[in-house]
Amino acid sequence: MKSFSFSASTLARQALTYILFGACFLIFMMVALGGATRLTGSGLSIVEWRLVSGIFPPLTLQDWQALFENYQHSPEYLKVNRGMTLEAFKSIFWLEYVHRLWGRLIGLYFLIPLFLSWRVLSLRKRYFFPLVAIFLLGGLQGLTGWAMVKSGLIDDPHVSPYRLAAHLMLALLTYAMTLSIAVRLCLEERKNSVGSTLSSAIPPVALPALPWVLCLLILTIFYGALVAGHKAGLVYNTFPLMGGRWIPEEAWFYKPWLLNLFVNPVMVQWMHRVLASATVLCLGAMIKSAWAKPLASFQRRSLAATGLLALVQMSLGIATLLYQAPIFLALLHQSGGLVLFTALLVTREASKRALTPGSVLPSSHSRKAPPAVER
């Protein structure tokens, strides 16, 4: 294979960057569609998994009647929606259909960066195999989604909270890996654009607490999935106390007590509250500690934006709880968690790499006087 010229290679890197940011958008929308599917009770409307033929929607009355007949044998119809009409079935079918179709679209879309990273030699060595891993992870994500749906088609017309959490965590991992590579490529393009001047580039200020804040946020999102799976957002709709207590008595209902952390809706909601509060407090402490340092311009802006996003996200969570999880607020809260995760991940990736000169103000002990201007 003939190697590309420098200009063609650079163009390919830029194209891959934009393509991967596009993939991040598709995954983000997939998560939002999944949340809408769950909140509207649409997730169990399609009781079969047909990878190829499932791409095509029902086009005739006979197609609709066949799908509806299959649904009428499901536990959700027999125990929750008995007597549902065909028109009502259509209203829950379409959202689940779009959610599944969107997943297939992401799989096909990812063939583009895979081909590009294989075709360009300079990209193949660093990015092809990570992109293959992301592609396979996306396939695993689809299988986990079907396993989640299947858990609600046996006897209990509710999906397993743990499979729901696994489904969301895999989506989060897929999104994080894709976004990290996209940001890395973007920063490398910026680095190459300034050429040899990079030798004098000043690295950004280290943010050692940032990985811990990210871990707290991931745990918070994980417990958010358990809250959704257990419908724990419908109990104790008060804040900050729960039934006039910091920890309700029901939180320790199961024995051994560790079991409550995963199966008790009251304790699951309490854990989500505590982890969310800890995330905001730790993020605030990190921002306060870093603010007095000679931060890179992008770091100061990103930390300020991230702090604001965290406050908005916590406010949305409290409002969702107080109003007993209306669909619109719950969707905003779920999407807000992913937006906050995006902001933290971008800040972390960018902080690990040197920026162009002049983006960081040197500290006082290393600051030099500007050179004299010849007149």
One domain for residues 214 and 341:
yes
Whether 342 is covered by a domain: the verdict is: yes
Inform me whether the pLDDT recorded for 112 exceeds 60: yes
Cβ partners under 8 Å of residue 15, min gap 6? 116
One domain for residues 120 and 153:
yes
Whether 3 is covered by a domain: the verdict is: no
Inform me whether the pLDDT recorded for 199 exceeds 70: no
Whether 109 is covered by a domain: the verdict is: yes
pLDDT tens per residue across span 10-28: 888 899 999 999 999 999 9
Whether 149 is covered by a domain: the verdict is: yes
Q: What pLDDT shows up at residue 213?
A: 96
One domain for residues 179 and 236:
no
Please give the average per-residue pLDDT across 160-189, as a whole number.
Answer: 94
For residue 317, what are the domain limits?
205-360
**pTM of the prediction?**
0.88
Q: Is 83 exposed, middle or buried (0-12, 13-18, 19+ CB in 10 A)?
A: exposed
One domain for residues 101 and 237:
no
Question: Mean pLDDT in the chain?
Answer: 87
Inform me whether the pLDDT recorded for 354 exceeds 90: no
Q: What pLDDT shows up at residue 194?
A: 53
Domain end among 193, 218, 238: 193
Q: What pLDDT shows up at residue 53?
A: 80
Whether 2 is covered by a domain: the verdict is: no
Asked if 226 and 232 touch (Cβ cutoff 8 Å), the reply is yes
Tally of domains within the chain: 2
Q: What pLDDT shows up at residue 212?
A: 95
Whether 98 is covered by a domain: the verdict is: yes
Inform me whether the pLDDT recorded for 201 exceeds 70: no
One domain for residues 131 and 235:
no
One domain for residues 38 and 143:
yes
One domain for residues 171 and 251:
no
One domain for residues 163 and 210:
no
Q: What pLDDT shows up at residue 125?
A: 87
Going by pLDDT thresholds of 50, 70 and 90, the confidence category of residue 3 is very low
Query: Quick one: tokens of 65?
Result: 């009647």
One domain for residues 86 and 186:
yes
- Written in H, E and C, the secondary structure of 208-232 is CCHHHHHHHHHHHHHHHHHHHHHCH
Q: What pLDDT shows up at residue 197?
A: 41
Going by pLDDT thresholds of 50, 70 and 90, the confidence category of residue 367 is very low
pLDDT tens per residue across span 285-330: 999 999 988 887 888 888 999 999 999 999 999 999 999 999 999 9
One domain for residues 188 and 209:
no
Q: What pLDDT shows up at residue 188?
A: 82
Inform me whether the pLDDT recorded for 247 exceeds 60: yes
| Residue 245: strand pairing partners | 242
Inform me whether the pLDDT recorded for 370 exceeds 50: no
Inform me whether the pLDDT recorded for 335 exceeds 50: yes
Domain end among 144, 163, 193: 193
Whether 89 is covered by a domain: the verdict is: yes
Domain end among 150, 172, 193: 193
Going by pLDDT thresholds of 50, 70 and 90, the confidence category of residue 353 is low
Please give the average per-residue pLDDT across 177-192, as a whole number.
Answer: 87
As a whole-number percent, the residues of the chain with pLDDT over 90 amount to: 72
Q: Which residues of 195-233 are buried (b: 16+ CB within 10 A; e: fewer)?
A: eeeeeebbebeebeebeebbebbbbbbbbbbbbbbbebb
One domain for residues 213 and 266:
yes
Whether 224 is covered by a domain: the verdict is: yes
One domain for residues 19 and 135:
yes
Q: What pLDDT shows up at residue 294?
A: 84
- Written in H, E and C, the secondary structure of 299-349 is HHHHHHHHHHHHHHHHHHHHHHHHCCCCHHHHHHHHHHHHHHHHHHHHHHH
